[in-house]
Chains A and B, each alone.
Chain A
Amino acid sequence: MTGDAQSSSKAEVLGRIRDARAVGSPGPVDVPRHYDRQPLSGPGDVERFAETVDEYRAQVFRIDAAAVAATGPSSVEVVQVVPVQADEYWYETGCKRLPNDLT
């Protein structure tokens, strides 16, 4: 598509919308935000979060504040991997190659 054709399409679509809105348009609408906008506000929410991530097979560890430093970096190694056939530029970012185990 040429730039001219695209400008024409854009103008036509926007024109159609403006014509359509002329038919009984209510104008901008105030959105009622009476739903719970602070979902992480109580102890029950932490339980709910743990339950939800567990549904997706995440391992959940419940520890106290004092144990955080000992648990975090030492217990988890973050490795970014990509399939062996992926573009070279992925490896340049530091990703490791994943053996092509399709199962």
Chain B
Amino acid sequence: MRRNVGHATRTIRTKRLAAVSECADWEELRAAGSAIKQDVMARLPELLEQLEANVVARGGVVHWARDADEANRIVTDLIRVTGADEVVKVKSMATQEIGLNEHLEAEGITAIETDLAELIVQLGHDKPSHILVPAIHRNRAEIREIFRREMPEAGELTDEPRVLAIAARAHLRRKFLSAKGAVSGANFGVAETGTLALVESEGNGRMCLTLPETLITVMGIEKIVPTFADLEVFMQLLPRSSTAERMNPYTSMWTGVYGGGGPREFHLVLLDNGRTTVLADEVGRAALHCIRCSACLNVCSVYERTGGHAYGSVYPGPIDAILSPQLTGTHGHGDPNATLPYASSWCAACFDACSVRIDISSILVHLRAAQVDSDRGGLPSGQDVAMKAAAWAMKSPTRFALAEKALSAARIAANSDQRITTLPWPASKWTSSRDIPEPPKETFRQWWTRTHGGDR
């Protein structure tokens, strides 16, 4: 997994730098993108109502969802009206966030992911590990095995990308042509015109947006932009930052419904699901500026080594470290979200890469401080106790020397690979998920005394 992720992120990173360096006005575009998002946050209610009015005026229906449950209920009811028990889907982070596929499955409706990487993840009964490249942790041989197992109609397959893509295309084409309904996300919603915009690379989105009779779009309330002209900024920032392309292959825009083609019904679900809580945090609200380009993931030294699954939530990488804890809140030491602000080396490469200049490092500091403050007064955690013990030992040279000698004794727990993989409780809480290198035979002080005779 680490090899797959490392190779993929290095490749995208290099291409992105080349794509960005072509734009002499890149920094000006980033500044404009950031300002547009700040402006959106400042005028959000007015812009949302303007978007609603324009969508309705062009034959669409707008629904408001306070949380994931409400959004899932709305979408399920709309699909039921079509009479279908199957729906095609365009890749959408918002619907992953609310667990729509799982909800639909429980209601007897099959959601078919049509983005190739999402299809690989779905057929592999897996979880996405990257915002843009959800199957980044899979190599070609693994994908061939998944297709062989889950798509027997595809026949004999090699691990050649073209062969795999053709198999997926044939599988999906049947689904596109029979689907009564489609569910999509949206990259942007234009308040001025009621237009929704979706960027993608494969054309599967275009199929979902045009062929089925009913189109349901789930969009976070922060995805709005005031005017059509604002798209000129994001349509330059997003492709170069995400896929390192000058322009993305498919940009779909739709405004309500038309008599001459495309869906006959269009429903827009505006999703809150914690976004207003994020908005209420004066520092943390900048996380809502994110346009999901994933540039921060591809430059992150932590993400490159852990992959996306380690974050344990829908939005992996640096943006996840600031977004998920705010969207869902943190509930004590045991909550995986509580550790996310610590999943950073603080190198700030994410800020340099961010297409809308989100200062992720500063928000990390802010979230860590808030968490420390909220933990005050309660029972100390194991980490608190360990830190206090370390501080006590390090305050005294005598105690520190004793501690060093005691650590040397841990050599007996090391295996033949010079790693300590198992320790008794409470140290087992560490070794259950991480190895410890075998301590050296002598401490630094012992080495210094031996080689320098105790001279300072």
A residues with a Cβ closer than 8 A to B are 1, 6, 9-10, 12-14, 16-21, 23-37, 52, 55-56, 83, 85-87, 89-90, 93, 102-103
Contact A17 B65, beta carbon cutoff 8 Å: no
Residue pairs across A and B with CB atoms within 8 Å: the count is: 109
Complex Cα gap A69–B63 (Å) = 51
Contact A21 B279, beta carbon cutoff 8 Å: yes
Contact B38 A35, beta carbon cutoff 8 Å: no
Complex Cα gap A9–B213 (Å) = 27
Complex Cα gap A87–B70 (Å) = 32
The answer, among A13, A24, A55, A86, for a CB contact under 8 Å with B64, is: A13
Contact A29 B28, beta carbon cutoff 8 Å: no
Contact A6 B276, beta carbon cutoff 8 Å: no
Complex Cα gap A83–B230 (Å) = 36
Q: Is B394 an interface residue (CB 8 A)?
A: no
Instruction: Report whether over half of chain B's contact residues are helix, strand or loop; otherwise say mixed.
Output: helix
B137 CB → nearest A CB, Å: 28
Contact A33 B32, beta carbon cutoff 8 Å: yes
- For A27, the closest partner residue in chain B by CB is B42
Given contact pairs A23-B281, A32-B31, A36-B24, A9 touches B169 in the complex (Cβ within 8 A): no
Binds A, one of B43-51, B329-337, B431-439: B43-51
- A sample of 15 more A-B contacts (CB under 8 A), given A1-B63, A29-B39, is A6-B63, A9-B64, A9-B65, A9-B70, A20-B285, A23-B280, A26-B38, A30-B35, A31-B36, A34-B31, A35-B25, A35-B32, A36-B28, A83-B177, A90-B261
B356 CB → nearest A CB, Å: 12
B299 CB → nearest A CB, Å: 22
Complex Cα gap A82–B44 (Å) = 40
A64 CB → nearest B CB, Å: 27
Residue numbers in A under 8 Å from B230 (CB-CB)? 31
Given contact pairs A85-B177, A86-B177, A13 touches B28 in the complex (Cβ within 8 A): no
Contact A6 B64, beta carbon cutoff 8 Å: yes
A7 CB → nearest B CB, Å: 9
Contact B63 A28, beta carbon cutoff 8 Å: no
Complex Cα gap A23–B48 (Å) = 19
Residue numbers in A under 8 Å from B249 (CB-CB)? 56
Contact A32 B276, beta carbon cutoff 8 Å: no
Complex Cα gap A34–B211 (Å) = 40
Across the A-B interface, the 9 shortest Cβ-Cβ residue pairs: A16-B276, A20-B280, A20-B279, A35-B28, A24-B282, A29-B39, A10-B64, A102-B170, A35-B25
Residue numbers in A under 8 Å from B232 (CB-CB)? 37
Q: Is B173 an interface residue (CB 8 A)?
A: yes
- For B171, the closest partner residue in chain A by CB is A102
B72 CB → nearest A CB, Å: 12
Contact B280 A52, beta carbon cutoff 8 Å: no
Q: Is B29 an interface residue (CB 8 A)?
A: yes
Residue numbers in A under 8 Å from B414 (CB-CB)? none
Residue numbers in B under 8 Å from A18 (CB-CB)? 45
Contact B63 A21, beta carbon cutoff 8 Å: no
Given contact pairs A52-B246, A86-B211, A31 touches B45 in the complex (Cβ within 8 A): no
A40 CB → nearest B CB, Å: 12
- For B178, the closest partner residue in chain A by CB is A85
Q: Is B319 an interface residue (CB 8 A)?
A: no
Complex Cα gap A56–B250 (Å) = 11
